Amino acid sequence: MKECYLNGDYVDLADAKVSVLDRGFIFGEGIYEVIGVHSRKPFALSLHLERLDLNLSEMGLSNPLSSEAWSSLISNLISRNGCAFGTIYIQITRGKAPRNHEFPKASCPTVFVMISESAAKTELEKVIAITAEDERWRGCHIKTTSLFANTRLRNLATSKGAAEAILQYGGYLTEGASSSVFIVSNDGVIYTSPLDSNILPGITREIVIRLSVSMGVPVIEEKIEISRLRTANEIWLTNTSFGIRCVSRLDEGIVGDGQQYEVAQRFHKQLSIEKGIMP
Ligand code: PDD
């Protein structure tokens, strides 16, 4: 049995039900979080809860739970499901209301949390990526459940035998369809797109930037012309689910030498140590 949390109760995932009038179902109006679980512990929980808070205020909702309550809910789900490695998924919508574009005067948010188990990975993975036009709205800093543009772009990548679509807007890199993007130039400098409404403030991105300071190779946040990816030595994708991945082929071109991604290896190792999955 797999248990989830829905509006105050722990229930079997197969039995969890929400109304068809839920604004998350009708309008895709909801926000979400994905939090890594490593050795039965949530990773970077406070950063995820801070982002959740910001997203709730974007929606004009107050946080239904205190940080302490979130923390014990998450610990409960981990132990009730006996999950050692995986991800916690939180989704909050404005709840059920008669269909109307206007926000209801009073709302009772739907709060849903589930856990997915996955194997712990310690190897740095290499994947193929394509570039694509960023066709999303200009509110990408909000972690909204309205993800059709993202899922469409990820599926475009899949249809071309790639794992991710790296997006450009106005000739500049934004991010991946489901990841943040970093590049390492020929002279070893690490760059990533600056935080604005074109990208999600990724938690893994934030942790990589913090690590870069302590590792003495600070990441530069600046607008990156998409053409710079063609000459980069390394291209990284980062997210909560997989940590750091290297792009070995972008469109038709090999990235770097296609084999050794030394800077990524160092960051991948350091991130794994932070997560407690490498000594
Ligand atoms: N997505 N940008 C986008 C568009 C994303 O969907 C994600 C992650 C990220 C990286 O954010 P973080 O480091 O906080 O995971 C950046 C998650 C994993 C998802 O939708 O499942």
Mean pLDDT computed over 172-190? 97
The verdict on 162 and 264 lying in the same domain is yes
Q: Is 243 helix (H, G, I), strand (E, B) or coil?
A: strand
Asked whether 118 lines ligand 1 (CB < 6 A), one says no
212 lines ligand 1 (CB under 6 A): no
Last residue of one domain, picked from the residues 100, 117, 134: 117
CA distance 86 to 49: 18
| Cα 114 from Cα 53, distance rounded (Å) | 19
Q: For residue 167, list its beta bridge partners.
A: 132
Q: Can you say whether the dihedral through the CA atoms of 96, 102, 106, 111 is positive or negative? A: positive
Mean pLDDT for the chain overall: 96
Question: CA angle, 33 as apex, 30 and 39 as ends, to 5°?
Answer: 155
CA of 190 to the centre of ligand 1 (A): 20
Number of domains observed in the structure of the chain: 2
> Is 36 near ligand 1, meaning CB less than 6 Å away?
no
pLDDT, tens only, 96-126: 999 999 999 988 999 999 999 999 888 999 9
Verify that 61 and 144 share a domain, yes or no.
no
Q: Is the pTM of this model over 0.85?
A: yes
Which ligand 1 atom sits closest to the C-alpha of 48? 14
Residue 263 pLDDT > 70: yes
Residues 23, 137 within the same domain: no
Is residue 104 domain-shared with residue 137, that is, in the same domain? no
β-pair partners for 129: 164, 250
77 shares a domain with 19: yes
Q: Is 200 in the pocket of ligand 1 (CB under 6 A)?
A: yes
Cα–Cα dist 138/159, whole Å: 26
Ligand 1 closest atom vs CA 32: 20
pLDDT at 259: 80
3-state secondary structure of 92: strand
List C-alpha distances in Å: 104 to 27, 36, 178.
13, 33, 31
User: For 5-29, how does the pLDDT look when each residue is reduced to its tens digit (9 = 90+)?
Assistant: 999 999 999 999 999 999 999 999 9
pLDDT of residue 42 exceeding 70, the answer is: yes
The residue segments making up the domain with residue 82 are 3-117
Q: Please, which residues have CB within 8 angstroms of residue 147's CB and are 6 or more apart in sequence?
A: 28
Helix (H, G, I), strand (E, B) or coil at 19: coil
| CA–centroid distance, residue 98 to ligand 1 (Å) | 31
Whether pLDDT at 217 is above 80: yes
Whether the predicted pLDDT of 222 surpasses 70: yes
Cβ of 107 less than 6 Å from ligand 1: no
Which one of 60, 90, 117 terminates a domain? 117
Residues assigned a catalytic role: 143
Whether residue 177 sits in one domain with residue 249: yes
pLDDT of residue 1: 63
